Amino acid sequence: MSNYPKIILKPGKERSLQRFHPWVFSGAIEAVTKELSDGEIVEVYDSSKKYLATGHYQEEGSITVRIFSFTQCEIDEDFWLQKFQRAVNLRKTLGLYENKSINAFRLIHGEGDLMPGLIMDYYDGNVVIQFHSYGMFLLKDTFVNVLKNVLGDKLKSIYNKSETTLSNAIEKEDLKGFLFQANKTEIIVNEYDNQYIVDIEEGQKTGFFIDQRENRKLLEKYCAGKKVLNVFAYTGGFSIAALKGGAELVHSVDSSQKATNLTNKNVMLNFGECDKHQAFAEDAFSFLDKMDNDYDVVVLDPPAFAKHLHLKEKGLKGYRSINNKVIHNIKKGGLLFTFSCSQAISSEDFRTMIFTAAAQAKREVKILHQLSQGADHPINIYHPESEYLKGLVLFVE
Ligand code: SAH
> What is the Cα–Cα distance from 182 to 185, expressed in whole angstroms?
9
Same domain, 378 and 287: yes
Same domain, 167 and 301: no
On the question of pLDDT at 346 being above 90, the answer is yes
Cβ of 321 below 6 Å from ligand 1: no
Ligand 1, pocket-test mutation among 250, 255, 282, most atoms within 8 A of CB? 255
Q: What is the mean pLDDT of residues 330-351?
A: 96
pLDDT value of residue 174: 87
Cβ of 212 below 6 Å from ligand 1: yes
- Residue 183 pLDDT class (50, 70, 90 cuts): confident
pLDDT value of residue 60: 87
pLDDT value of residue 169: 67
CA-closest residue to ligand 1 atom 9: 303
Same domain, 350 and 242: yes
Q: What is the mean pLDDT of residues 309-321?
A: 92
pLDDT value of residue 168: 65
The alpha carbon of 302 and the centre of ligand 1 are apart by a number of angstroms equal to 5
On the question of pLDDT at 265 being above 90, the answer is yes
Same domain, 97 and 225: no
- End position of a domain, from candidates 53, 69, 85: 69
Same domain, 139 and 235: no
- Residue 170 pLDDT class (50, 70, 90 cuts): confident
> What is the Cα–Cα distance from 374 to 368, expressed in whole angstroms?
18
Same domain, 244 and 317: yes
Same domain, 170 and 260: no
Q: Which atom of ligand 1 is nearest to the CA of 299?
A: 1
Q: What is the mean pLDDT of the chain?
A: 96
Helix-then-strand count for the chain, H and E: 10, 20
pLDDT value of residue 1: 58
pLDDT value of residue 46: 97
Same domain, 44 and 163: no
The alpha carbon of 53 and the centre of ligand 1 are apart by a number of angstroms equal to 38
pLDDT value of residue 271: 98
Same domain, 94 and 63: no
Q: What one-character-per-residue DSSP string does 86-145 give?
A: HHHHHHHHTT-TT-SS--EEEEEEGGGGT-TTEEEEEETTEEEEEE-SHHHHTTHHHHHH
The alpha carbon of 349 and the centre of ligand 1 are apart by a number of angstroms equal to 21
CA dihedral 19, 379, 342, 321 (to 10 degrees): -120
Q: What is the mean pLDDT of residues 246-274?
A: 98
- Residue 293 pLDDT class (50, 70, 90 cuts): confident
Same domain, 284 and 360: yes
Q: Which domain holds residue 54?
A: 6-69
- Kindly state whether residue 236 falls inside one of the protein's structural domains: yes
Q: What is the mean pLDDT of residues 111-129?
A: 98
- Kindly state whether residue 162 falls inside one of the protein's structural domains: yes
Cβ of 111 below 6 Å from ligand 1: no
Helix (H, G, I), strand (E, B) or coil at 348: helix
- CB within 8 A of 168, min separation 6: which ones? 38, 60, 134
Same domain, 81 and 65: no
**Domain holding 104: CATH number?**
3.30.750.80
Identify whether the C-beta of residue 84 lies closer than 8 Å to the C-beta of residue 358: no
- Kindly state whether residue 379 falls inside one of the protein's structural domains: yes
Cβ of 238 below 6 Å from ligand 1: yes
Q: How many domains does the chain have?
A: 3
Among 352, 348, 341, smallest CA distance to 390 is for 341
On the question of pLDDT at 30 being above 90, the answer is yes
- Kindly state whether residue 202 falls inside one of the protein's structural domains: no
Residue-wise pLDDT tens digits, 40-74? 999 999 999 999 999 999 998 899 999 999 999 99
Q: What is the mean pLDDT of residues 252-257?
A: 98
- Kindly state whether residue 200 falls inside one of the protein's structural domains: no
Cβ of 301 below 6 Å from ligand 1: yes
